[in-house]
């Protein structure tokens, strides 16, 4: 025995319920999404093929800057390479800083500094120590 006897209204209610279930499932899945997926998507746009498991969290700290985390190292080449790749590259940006390292297929290392959840500084360092923009 159906509570809604009008066939048209029943179909509308079923479609609305299905849409609500689909929206809830999407929100559940997207809320639990690995934050490294966004890093992979950004870096892979430059021709790389990273997956979340490729990244090594080499350091991080709350209430600091990239410059402070790098302990005063000269970051001028890294900033230039990062800006050439289109990143803001503000080494004085303050907040929660995370340092990620990912090894490319030819053994270069992609260095990613994330500040407050956003990629701030990103560059490639070769085995020879040369610092380059992404994709070169």
- In tens, the pLDDT along 43-67 reads 999 999 999 999 999 988 899 999 9
Same domain, 54 and 109: yes
Total domains in the fold of the chain: 2
Cβ neighbours around 7 below 10 Å, total: 9
**Rounded CA gap, 116 and 90, in Å?**
12
- Same domain (yes/no): 19, 78: no
Pick the more confident residue, 87 or 8: 87
Residues 100 and 81 in one domain: yes
pLDDT given for residue 4 in this prediction: 58
**Which H or E element spans position 60?**
strand 55-65
Q: Does 67 lie in the same domain as 10?
A: no
Pair 62, 43 in one domain: yes
Query: pLDDT tens for residues 84-124?
Result: 999 999 999 999 999 999 999 999 999 999 999 899 999 99
> Are 40 and 29 in the same domain?
no
Q: How confident is the model at residue 2 (pLDDT cuts 50, 70, 90)?
A: low
pTM over 0.85: no
Query: Domain residues for 56?
Result: 36-132
CB 111 within 8 A of CB 122: yes
Q: Are both 45 and 8 inside the same structural domain?
A: no
Q: How confident is the model at residue 25 (pLDDT cuts 50, 70, 90)?
A: low
127 and 60 share one domain: yes
Question: Do residues 50 and 17 share a domain?
Answer: no
78 plus 54 within the same structural domain: yes
The average pLDDT across 77-81 equals: 96
Does one domain contain both 43 and 29? no
Same domain, residue pair 40 and 59: yes
């Amino acid at each position: 025995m159906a509570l809604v006897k009008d066939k048209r209204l029943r179909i509308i209610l079923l479609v609305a319920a299905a849409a609500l279930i689909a929206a809830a499932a999407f929100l559940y899945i997207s809320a639990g999404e690995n934050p490294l997926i966004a890093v992979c998507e950004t870096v892979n746009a430059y021709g790389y093929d990273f997956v979340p498991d490729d990244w090594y969290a080499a350091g991080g700290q709350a209430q600091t800057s990239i410059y402070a985390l790098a302990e005063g190292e000269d970051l001028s080449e890294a900033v230039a390479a990062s800006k050439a790749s289109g990143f803001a590259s503000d080494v004085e940006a303050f907040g929660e800083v995370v340092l990620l390292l990912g090894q490319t297929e030819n053994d270069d290392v992609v260095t990613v500094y994330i500040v407050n959840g956003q990629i701030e500084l990103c560059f490639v360092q070769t085995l020879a120590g040369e610092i380059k923009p992404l994709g070169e």
